Amino acid sequence: MSIQLALDGVSRSFDGFKAINELSLTVEKGELRAVIGPNGAGKTTMMDIITGKTRPDTGSVMWNQTIDLTEQDEAGAARLGIGRKFQKPTVFETQSVEDNIALSLAGERSVWASLFHRRSPAEATRITEILELVRLEDQRSDQAGDLSHGQKQWLEIGMLLAQDPELLLVDEPAAGMTDAETMRTADLLRDIAGKHTVIVVEHDMEFVRALDCRVTVLHQGHVLAEGSLDHVSANPEVVEVYLGR
Amino acid sequence: MGLIDRRMGIFLAGLFVLTVAIPYGNLAMSGQPVPSYVVSLLGKYLCYALLAVALDLVWGYCGILSLGHGAFFALGGYAMGMHLMREIGDRGVYANPDLPDFMVFLNYEALPWYWHGFDMFWFACIMVLAVPGLLAFVFGWFAFRSRVTGVYLSIITQAMTYALMLAFFRNEMGFGGNNGLTDFKDVLGFDLQSDVTRAWLFGLSGLALAAGLLIAKAITDSKLGKVLIAVRDAESRTRFLGYRVEEYKLFVFVVSAMMAGVAGALYVPQVGIINPGEFSPANSIEIVIWVALGGRGTLVGAALGAILVAGAKTLLTGWLPEVWLFALGALFVLVTIFLPKGVLGLIEGRQKGQSASRERAAARADGVDLEVRPEELRGEEVKS
């Protein structure tokens, strides 16, 4: 198996506070990985660094062992094949559900390509497939802003699928979902993994258990433990900083 | 739906009737029911309408609240004014075949280099597009790349037009200083004082407005238009989808500036003067009021707003000149509070009783994001 993403000695501080401290982390292609940790452990900053939003002070973030992601901006990272789902569902509220998917669909992103873009039959089919998968085909022409919280989560997952990224970064997907929805999300993420690499940041232990994957525990911007959920749960340090609370 | 939806169809039909009926009433009917000054006045309104459409394209669809669009309008106007000055030739007060009157008066020995070429109409026409376009490109290049957004961007656009105003007031700039450019005689050999020429200019303004509306509609209907709306509503999210937001903003800003330049170029021969007052910040703010009043993000509404406010201004300033600015301010406040979707929203809302969902969504879209984020101040990335 080849390495998808390798963070090596990454640090980043904000106003003297070290959000990320000598973080090293390797994720293999097609892997499903859960990242857990208490508030302020640096999970969001880590994702910001991987997606080109934040530049680290030191360290390297290698993509497919060849490209240094610290030199990319958000659009650059997205074009390389990194998709991101936010904790708070962020969809284009004044546009239709269908247009949200259409905007996310993989393809040329330049100004000219967008100006003269005509939707191909293949793209139309793909949009319908995705809407069916996330069960929003009936809401196709509704304004995305009118969807329920859970539906927005699904729409955003649909947008990620449309983007067809090599790596998906998913921030607390289960937040605000019902138990049934949570389990369906876990199933979906397990399905996606393999074809895509998936990193899930999550608080909900039930959800992480349902993912049934390798777990990385972050604490104060550093990796505290790594392994199966049972393995890290047995680690006394982890229990102290996180699970025991 | 096509390029011409119901709203656009009605407006264009009305515009067509107007551009035919007004010159007809002025030139062909006995008793001249439409006086000549009305033709020029309405022609001026149509130029304002085109300027409003240009602003709506960037503000309504991409969330760029430019408070400097008057600058692009004035630059287009100056480019045309320079040609009209050159066309005066030796018929000026000083009868100098090479230098415009103000240059003779200010003891210029020769034509400044940047005046060369403006004796040719086609060159002036290119400059009408190129000068505002280039300024917008350079300005936008720096502003959008450094991710200046919201109220900060508005302030620097305002500063831009103010700086230009101060510069153009200086006699040394070579644009007639304080007095600007005036005393135009003719354009392409047609007498600017004649009713027929004025009717033609009026018709051309109508045509330019229609073209501007259709170009703006084509842009906003395309996938690029959807990306612009995405940028307006969730800029950061758009970046994470792989769109280079700064490139999209730059594109629409330049197109809009060129449109404003054309509006200025058609305005100048109809009013007969261009001076640095056109760069004044108040003018640019007035454009924003037109768009807000007509209905932001509707194109047609912006054009309608410009015509309504400019008409009200003509009436009120003739009648109670001191009251106008207060009336304008009151109008803006009232529209913002009671008509968040503008006059067009009022008309259309009455007509078909839109679904609640659309109302809500549009109200959200109309909210001006002037929120100041501390992260922006520090120039740091916003943490989600």
- How many whole angstroms separate alpha carbon A18 and alpha carbon A10? 11
Instruction: Name the residue of chain B whose CA is nearest to A72's CA.
Output: B242
The mean pLDDT of A110-134, rounded to a whole number, is 94
- How many whole angstroms separate alpha carbon A101 and alpha carbon A99? 5
Q: For residues A48 and A139, state if they share a domain.
A: no
Q: For residues A87 and A177, state if they share a domain.
A: yes
User: What is the predicted pLDDT for the residue at A215?
Assistant: 94
Q: For residues A125 and A193, state if they share a domain.
A: no
Structure-block tokens of residue A41: 């452990």
Beta bridge partners of A7: A25, A61
**Is the Cβ of A94 closer than 8 Å to some Cβ of chain B?**
yes
Choose the mutation target among B240, B245, B381 for the interface with A, i.e. most A CBs under 10 Å: B240
Identify whether A108 is part of a domain: yes
DSSP label of B322:
G
- How many whole angstroms separate alpha carbon A13 and alpha carbon A49? 12
Where on the phi/psi map is residue A161: left (φ > 0), alpha (ψ -120 to 50), or beta? alpha
Structure-block tokens of residue B105: 């008066």
pTM for this entry: 0.90
User: What is the predicted pLDDT for the residue at A244?
Assistant: 55
The mean pLDDT of A217-224, rounded to a whole number, is 91
Q: For residues A79 and A127, state if they share a domain.
A: no
SS3 B28: coil
Give A29→chain B minimum CA distance, Å. 21
Q: For residues A86 and A172, state if they share a domain.
A: yes
Strand A167-171 relative to strand A67-68: parallel, antiparallel, unpaired? Answer: unpaired
Chain B residues within 8 Å of chain A (Cβ atoms): 219, 222-224, 226-227, 229-230, 233-234, 236-245, 247-248, 251, 357-358, 360-362, 364-365, 380-381, 383-384
Give B187→chain A minimum CA distance, Å. 36
Identify whether A137 is part of a domain: yes
Residues A74 and A52 sit within 8 Å (Cβ to Cβ): yes
Identify whether A68 is part of a domain: yes
- Side chain identity at residue A181, one-letter code: E
3-state DSSP: chain A helix, strand, coil percent, rounded to 5?
A: 40, 25, 30
Host H or E run for residue A12: strand A3-14
Give A186→chain B minimum CA distance, Å. 23
Q: For residues A207 and A228, state if they share a domain.
A: yes
Asked if the model's pLDDT at residue A173 lies above 90, the reply is: no
Q: For residues A225 and A184, state if they share a domain.
A: yes
Identify whether A153 is part of a domain: no
All residues of chain B having their beta carbon less than 8 Å from the beta carbon of residue A114 are 222-224, 227, 248
Full domain range(s) for residue A174: 1-91+165-245
Band of the pLDDT at A86, cuts 50, 70, 90? confident
Distance of CA A121 to the CA centre of its chain: 29
Half-sphere exposure of B47 (CA within 13 A, CB side): 26
Band of the pLDDT at A178, cuts 50, 70, 90? confident
| Contact (CB<8Å) B226/A45 | no
Choose the mutation target among A114, A139, A163 for the interface with B, i.e. most B CBs under 10 Å: A114
User: What is the predicted pLDDT for the residue at A205?
Assistant: 83
Start-to-end C-alpha separation, chain B: 37
Identify whether A47 is part of a domain: yes
Structure-block tokens of residue B261: 């330049």
Residues B211 and B227 sit within 8 Å (Cβ to Cβ): no
- How many whole angstroms separate alpha carbon A159 and alpha carbon A105? 7
Give B76→chain A minimum CA distance, Å. 25
Q: Of the residues A146, A181, A215, which one is the last residue of a structural domain?
A: A146
Residue (of B42, B77, B74) closest to B306 by Cα position: B42
Q: For residues A7 and A104, state if they share a domain.
A: no
Beta bridge partners of B195: none
SS3 A93: coil
Q: In what order do the strands lie in the sheet with A17-28?
A: A17-28, A3-14, A58-63, A67-68
**Number of structural domains, chain A?**
2
> B89 to each of A215, B81, B100, B109, B347, how far by Cα in Å?
82, 13, 7, 16, 50
User: What is the predicted pLDDT for the residue at B374?
Assistant: 46
CATH number (domain holding residue A20): 3.40.50.300
Q: In what order do the strands lie in the sheet with A82-85?
A: A82-85, A167-171, A197-201, A32-36, A214-219, A222-227
DSSP-derived secondary structure for B175-194: S-GGG-EE---EETTEETTS
- How many whole angstroms separate alpha carbon B130 and alpha carbon B136? 10
Pick A90's closest partner by Cβ from B237, B243, B247. B237
Where on the phi/psi map is residue A9: left (φ > 0), alpha (ψ -120 to 50), or beta? left
Residue (of B280, B285, B230, B281) closest to B252 by Cα position: B230
Q: For residues A182 and A194, state if they share a domain.
A: yes
Q: For residues A64 and A14, state if they share a domain.
A: yes
Identify whether A152 is part of a domain: no
Which stretches of chain B score pLDDT less than 50? Answer: 354-360, 362-363, 366-384
Complex-level ipTM: 0.91
Q: For residues A102 and A208, state if they share a domain.
A: no
Asked if the model's pLDDT at residue A75 lies above 80, the reply is: yes
Band of the pLDDT at A1, cuts 50, 70, 90? low
Tokens 């170029």 correspond to: B265
Q: For residues A81 and A107, state if they share a domain.
A: no
* φ, ψ (nearest 5 deg) of residue B121: -60, -45
